[in-house]
Structure 1
């Protein structure tokens, strides 16, 4: 195993994790429509990244499972939705949302660092396949970070001053 395969494995795991956490946050904050819809869309980006990483990893003799989460279903999803509706706009859900946004931001930032590492390695090795992968996916990861950061900036004063 070399540095490229280690980085691809880290990205694969990180993007799967981010997709799962974005979907969980979307379900947990279903009553916050912007959060629900945008987080669901951003999870699709991470799921697409997982697919692209999996396809690219094959070229480097690295076998990765492609199964990114697609949605939460069943009883857990229904339970989260009912809890979100019941809790409504109390301060505690605001704190939970801030915590979720912070965790999402940190996960996206970790992925961003790995994308940057992959891009730098690809440039040094003149590996167009890796450079193309990083160039396609990293900007979306940066947008995920900007969204979480903007949401935190907008919600933080309101939530923290209402405690």
Structure 2
């Protein structure tokens, strides 16, 4: 596998993971109606990114499933893994979820940027179009989580 294919695979896996994490957070915090709806909507972006990455990869003889597991099955696997992982005490669940979502979107953003730079250097219009189409939505996911952290952290961290 060449380095560009490795970035495509990493992005594909990262977008599917972010989709699953957004859906799980939306479900876990369903009482926060605005959070629930935006998380669900932005999860669709990540699902679409994974589908587009899989289509682009297929044209390069790299086979990535558009959706290897159903989101529910993936959430169950993640929940089982989370239950076995120690969590720091004291951080409110919603802030912890937002932090994880922000970091996952940031990781994807870095890989989108790598892909765009490789596409420019290699004069690969198809990869550049893919990155140009998907990366802005990933940046919006990051801005959304960052805005919520800025808004909610003071309330959640200073509440008695």
Give TM-score scaled by structure 1 length.
0.85
Segments of structure 1 that go 5 or more residues without pairing to the other structure are 77-91
Is 1:131 aligned to 2:134, yes or no? no
1:85 maps to which residue? none
Given the alignment of the two structures, is residue 96 of structure 1 paired with residue 93 of structure 2, yes or no? Answer: yes
User: Partners of 1:69 and 1:5 in 2: how far apart?
Assistant: 21
Alignment partners' CA distance in 1, 2:69 and 2:33:
21
The 1-side partners of 2:130 and 2:120 are apart by 12
Q: Secondary structure at the match of 2:92?
A: helix
Counterpart of 1:81?
Answer: none
What does the per-residue CA deviation read over 1:42-94, in whole Å, with 9 as the maximum and x for residues that have no partner? 00000000000000001111000111667549xx8xxxxxxxxxxxxxxx8x8
Paired position in structure 2 for 1:60 = 60
- What RMSD, in angstroms, separates the aligned Cα atoms of the two structures? 1.7
Equivalent position of 2:80 in the other structure: none
Indicate if the aligned counterparts of 1:20 and 1:69 stay in contact, CA closer than 8 A.
Answer: no
2:61 aligned counterpart, secondary structure: coil
Q: Hey, which bits of structure 1, 4+ residues long, moved more than 4 A?
A: 68-73
Structure 2 alignment gaps of length 5 or more: 77-89
Name the counterpart of 1:116. Answer: 113
Matches within 5 A, 1:8-23: 8-23=8-23
Give me the whole-angstrom Cα distance separating, in 1, the residues matched to 2:127 and 2:71. Answer: 29
* Secondary structure in structure 1 of the residue aligned to 2:103: helix
TM-score w.r.t. structure 2 length? 0.86
Match of 2:157 among 138, 149, 160: 160
Does the Cα contact within 8 Å between 1:22 and 1:42 map onto a contact in 2? yes
2:81 is aligned to: none
